[in-house]
Chain A
Amino acid sequence: MAVRVSMTVNGKAVSAEVEPRTLLVTFIREHLGLTGTHVGCDTAQCGACTIHMNGKAIKACSMVAMQAQDANVVTIEGVAKPDGTLHPMQAAFKEHHGLQCGFCTPGMVMNAIDFAKSHPNPSEQEVREALEGNLCRCTGYHNIVKAITAGAKAMAG
């Protein structure tokens, strides 16, 4: 039996009839066509599917869409300014070469933005701990850590 799911995604109200077993990440990618949110593992390990639900970073592969009923969801498509100006965290990833293939990057950036809100001037150790739920198979993490440290400072202004 289909259910109606309604939420706000990147500032826009969305609503659709879905099967209850539709994962949030499936809803975002296949129903809304927002394919910036990636699926790396589908088992809650890699963090490529990280989005914000009510401001908090969560893994969209590990919940059904109905768990986001009435929630405020932000995906990687929703963080830059409408004129295309990158979010300070995105700009820091670009500046510090915090990506190679880019597959993990949307999840990294979304987790980093949430983390930076409570850590305006993080230590390297804090950044590395914050990345426990995000895997990158390319960079070796050093530049990601540099990017997040700089991005957090930039966000704090």
Chain B
Amino acid sequence: MHAFNYHRPSSVNDAAALAAKQAEGKLLAGGQSLVQAMKLRLASPSDLIDLGAIGDLKGIKVDGGSVSIGAMTRHAEVAGSAEVKKAIPALAYLASQIGDRQVRNMGTLGGSLANADPAADYPAAVLGLGATVVTNKRKIAADDFFKGLYETALQPGEIITQVSFPAPKRAAYVKFKNPASRFAIVGVFVADTGKGVRVAVTGAGPSVFRVADMEKALGAKFAPDAVAGIKVKADGLNTDLHASAEYRAHLVTVMAKRAVEAALK
């Protein structure tokens, strides 16, 4: 790992000021992705701005029809929260399926979203539920947040402060996981929001995406057989040592069917 300067601000404003000054700096959340990337010298920031001492970024609030989760809230806290389990059980379940216990005790919601790993789980919930990503500068709708492989709408130095998830009528997340890392080979989040159905797919493409044909079919009839015949094209999907693009395309339909089944339970 290359040397860097370390900063530990106690407020979002101080963190933003530091980030603005250090063009080659990076924000540090749980470190579960960033520290490993730095060891491999895939990332060599001049400065690390640790968000760990900022109390305002932690915690879960349920308010009317929505669940707001602070960017520094750990995966384990979301998975174990009685409030999240009650308001959006699919979200608590998704968090419980990330990595392993130790990773869930350190990894954060904000870190996962900013990192935008193509196989990460949280992006499926954010896009599937039509959540709003709140930063120190603005509110970003889920449909505008994910831009591509490891790419988001965040500007340099912009800090995610919280994410607001509207509670759906019913929802479920099912993933076909890599048995070693538990990352999604394909994960599908299905949500019946009350104002329509949203289907978000992670792991399959360079970035999380929605499947309009499935959303339309499920809007007409919310049942597993409504999506059973709908295929996505393999063009542009990921091929790696774990699965080919064709196999991933096949899994999208299978996982979508299972997610609808799970949402109906």
Instruction: Identify the A interface with B (CB < 8 A).
Output: 1, 3, 19-21, 23, 42-45, 47, 50, 53, 56-59, 62-64, 66-67, 69, 111, 114-115, 130, 132-134
Contacts and interface: CB of A to CB of B under 8 A. Distances in A.
Contact of B50 (A23, A50, A66): A66
A43 to B, nearest CB: 6
Interface string B224-262: 000000000000000000000000000000000000000
A2 to B, nearest CB: 10
Contacts of B39: 42-43
B193 interface: no
A57 B105 CA distance: 7
Interface of B: 1-6, 8, 28, 30-32, 35-36, 38-39, 48, 50, 52-53, 76, 99-103, 105-106, 180, 182
A62 B50 CA distance: 14
A44 B99 CA distance: 10
Contacts of B1: 21
17 contacts: A3-B6, A21-B2, A21-B4, A23-B35, A44-B103, A50-B102, A56-B105, A58-B106, A59-B106, A62-B35, A62-B103, A63-B31, A64-B31, A66-B6, A69-B8, A115-B101, A132-B101
Given A47-B100, A67-B28, A133-B102, A20 B48 contact: yes
A133 B103 contact: yes
B182 to A, nearest CB: 7
